[in-house]
Structure 1
């Protein structure tokens, strides 16, 4: 992937993700506004379970991701796709049956629904990983937009037309959606790579090779999910339904950032597979730092909406800002360092570091809750864990050292963000934070600001030329 292709990929995903963000915002404000706290809590419990179903492919998708990473669609043989997909399909069907039996025994409706969704969810994840690995970012973004767009449509239909508060109906709708999306994606790829959809072509060797090469990456990703989802498990186990619903709402707002971050984090892996020069990485990293501190400012509009329209979740404001502050570090980690671990085949080091940080994260959650028994304690634990993870990554990439001005910028921005968000009203806090961010960026990140300024000018010139035509 060339630098121009990298820019094109980022731009494609960024434009496509605007629509994704609109649907995500609609979904995440519709549900808490019109559903009871109990139903909303059950839906968020199901979604919490769903985040862990990827564990049940045991690294198969990750092995495929590493296998095809850096290749183009034309460099992937039809026979490879045929065997790859068919093997995963049968494997996940078996895992679904086993998981459904367990869920029946535990009498947990949300868990049962999540178990039924294992096969379609992991098949959708396969196609997302495949398109990401081969650099087909437009197709990757379409999957994301189809998922969020149709999810929004289902929620709107059930709320406005059916007018039901039964969470079971919503969960069934999500499962049906995932099955339809899986079928569409499989037939869509078949038109490009000429293989037989839903054919039986199981290969034990294919299963072993993909799992063997991807298991460490899976465990690393699972540890990352465990770390970022750990606080919700603590809240669910130690606090009441209202606290879990409010905390889950805060996490939903935090997930908005993934929409903006995805264009960077997704394209970086394919780029690093083909460009591993430190000078390029250092230049990109500074841009990511600037981006991270700017994008978290979306927390202020969220706070404004809570102040005006959704006051029953206003108690989640402090949690929102602590989680968004953690994202300043997570965006840097996931966009740069996680992709470097993958591109340089450093899965063992990645997994080791994540094991350490999961233990550290668990300790922070326990300690913070022991000091003060409120849901905000777990959000603080998440922020502290993100900071520790950030420094752990630096140990493995000493050649990519930061200068003192970078550390000053990141930590001053974090402190200012928390102060403006928690202590001030949304409008005043947002204006003050953006003002300070612009000043600090010009003083401490002049190269990044110059690059952003020049890129902006080029885009404006191109837009004017296209209009004149």
Structure 2
């Protein structure tokens, strides 16, 4: 079945629009909240955001299993009773786990601020995982727009109190966390409303429901572990910084990472749109699209390095207290290039081809490599630069190895020259920021480097643009 490029484009437009709102909100959170909160208060806010990013893995793969098994299945053909039964089972189980975390946090000898962060995370735990259950289901049914609108509801319902807090100079980080939890509550309510035909379809027997849930866990557990290990590449880095350098340094590093992560969140919407469409495509179309999307990312992603300079100039003026964090940003910037390449191309195709084992293995090896370097950075070098460089090295290596594996699976040529060019640009940009700084000289040198990269690969990129142009003209005529 050929890909419907117009449908993909339509879904992608709504997805990127929703993430555009998320990106705006993330930018406000990253740029304005630090000016209102003190460094310690901002650190606890970032600690909550850090913890909350991992609660999605305590569904043990149920959501990922629903996504994999039902990918490409329209709502009309969905077994709604089975899905509803699983939703009830997951709801009870998630509530049970969250209650354990909530009461355990109150028993431990943490300072008050950490107790509040942990208990708020426990509440967020249930709301997030249940809304993601339905969100994954919408994506699997190729109803990506519904998922995107749920993101809009979530983000806008947090934006309103955030604007109020910023204008009133609210300096209590607990208020920001409470508003964030309430926004996720409204997101869950929206998802439940749009899944009301599924959630009112009746229930199967508990035995059948447990069996179906176990099937989804078996299907999604490896993918969930792969996702966990992917997040641990940066997660272990942040944990070690918090444990060894204190909440202030953690807050500054998290600020730099937040600038990277909200960009990644925006770009990752491409993979959400592509997965259900690619699941319905034949081998020939999969191979053709793989070649095109890979070349497109090689064309566009390196331009991110040029954005670094105006971003740093503006941030330096706006947040002078976070100048240390901006110095680390150049070292983290390659994550935008290679993590986007990994997420949109490699991870999506490995899921479509049901190669979760390979995805898990590659991610686990990357965690081992980056964690080993991070531990050396903590205990031997006592250097944040070494810790961050280890994570970046792991992410770059993972992207290259995954693409090489996919090329072998799909019998496609591995474009080592382009990959080598991207790695060379990355090294040059990092060296320029260290030796020259982020002034005009660095910007001009980076521009020259990128020009050489595009000139050396001009035939590939010209052919790509011609192919994309012809494809959309073809579907427009239809």
> Does the TM-score normalized on the shorter chain lie above 0.5?
yes
- Measured at CA, do residues 431 and 266 of structure 1 come closer, stay the same or move farther in structure 2, by a change above 3 Å? farther
Instruction: State how far apart, in whole Å, the 1-side matches of 2:155 and 2:66 are.
Output: 25
Deviations 1:158-201 (A, max 9, x none): 2323x4322222222222221222112211222xx353299998
Asked if 1:177 corresponds to 2:215, the answer is no
Superposed, 1:276-315 pairs within 5 Å as 276=283, 277-315=286-324
Q: CA–CA distance in 1 between the matches of 2:176 and 2:229?
A: 29
Q: Which residue of 2 aligns with 1:324?
A: 333
Question: 2:22 touches 2:266 (CA, 8 Å); kept in 1?
Answer: no
Aligned-pair distance for 1:116? 1.7
Task: Tell me if 1:154 matches 2:156.
Answer: no
The alpha-carbon deviation at position 371 of structure 1 amounts to 5.4
The count of residues paired between Structure 1 and Structure 2 equals 458
RMSD over equivalenced CA pairs, Å: 2.8
Q: How many Å separate the matches in 2 of 1:199 and 1:179?
A: 24
Matching of residues 13-412 of structure 1 within 5 Å: 13-106=15-108, 107=110, 108-161=115-168, 163-190=169-196, 193=197, 195-196=199-200, 203-275=209-281, 276=283, 277-370=286-379, 372-394=381-403, 396-397=405-406, 398=408, 399-412=411-424
Pair 120,450 (structure 1): closer, same or farther in 2 beyond 3 Å: same
Q: Does the CA-based 8 Å contact 1:441-1:449 persist in structure 2?
A: no
Shift of 1:85: 2.2
Residue 195 of structure 2 aligns to a residue in which SS? helix
CA contact (8 A) 2:61 2:223 kept: yes
Deviation of the 1:365 alpha carbon: 0.9
Change (3 A) 1:195 1:144: closer
Distance 1:147 1:256, change over 3 A: same
Aligned residue for 1:255, secondary structure, equals: helix
| Residues in 2 aligned to 1:395 and 1:71: alpha-carbon distance in whole angstroms | 30
- Distance, in Å, in 2 between the alignment partners of 1:435 and 1:39 is 42
Measure the CA separation in 1 of the matches of 2:47 and 2:370.
Answer: 21
In structure 1, which of residues 437, 441, 460 is the aligned counterpart of residue 454 of structure 2? 441
Give the distance between the partners of 1:177 and 1:321, measured in 2 at CA.
33
Structure 2: distance between partners of 1:311 and 1:243: 15
Q: Decide whether aligned partners of structure 1 residues 188 and 420 sit closer, same or farther in structure 2, where only a CA change above 3 A counts.
A: farther
Closer, same or farther in 2 for the Cα pair 1:99/1:369, shift >3 Å?
closer
Deviations 1:212-264 (A, max 9, x none): 21111111111111112221111101103221111010111001222441232
1:414 aligns with 2:426: yes
Q: Write the distance in 2 (CA, Å) between the matches of 1:413 and 1:456.
A: 28
- Report the counterpart of residue 464 of structure 1 in structure 2: none
- Cα-to-partner distance string for 1:430-465 (whole Å, 9 max, x where unaligned): 4653554355224315333454478689999xxxxx
CA distance in 2, matches of 1:434, 1:449: 20
After superposing the two structures, state which structure 1 stretch, 447-456 or 118-127, moved more: 447-456
SS of equivalent to 2:171: coil
Distance 2:202 2:22 in 1: 29
The SS at the match of 1:240 is helix
**How far does residue 370 in structure 1 lie from its aligned partner after superposition?**
4.7
The verdict on how the C-alpha distance between 1:194 and 1:244 changes in structure 2, with shifts beyond 3 A counting, is closer
Q: Is the 8 A contact 2:61 2:224 kept in 1?
A: yes
Question: CA separation of 1:319/1:452 partners in 2, compared to 1, >3 Å: closer, same or farther?
Answer: farther
Q: Is the 8 A contact 1:100 1:112 kept in 2?
A: yes
Kindly state the Cα deviation for residue 312 of structure 1 after the two structures are TM-superposed. 0.5
Alpha-carbon separation, structure 2, partners of 1:139 and 1:197: 19
Unaligned runs of 5+ in 1: 461-469
Do 1:257 and 1:295's aligned partners in 2 also have CA atoms closer than 8 Å?
no
Higher deviation after alignment, 123-132 or 198-207: 198-207
* Comparing 449-458 and 289-298, the one that deviates more: 449-458
Render the CA deviation track for 1:339-388: whole Å, top value 9, x for unaligned.
12211111222222222211111111122345542322222111111122
- Hey, what does 2:476 align to over in structure 1? none
- Using the alignment, how far apart are the partners of 1:129 and 1:42 within structure 2? 30
In the alignment, the residues of structure 1 paired with residue 278 and residue 470 of structure 2 have an alpha-carbon distance, to the nearest angstrom, of: 27
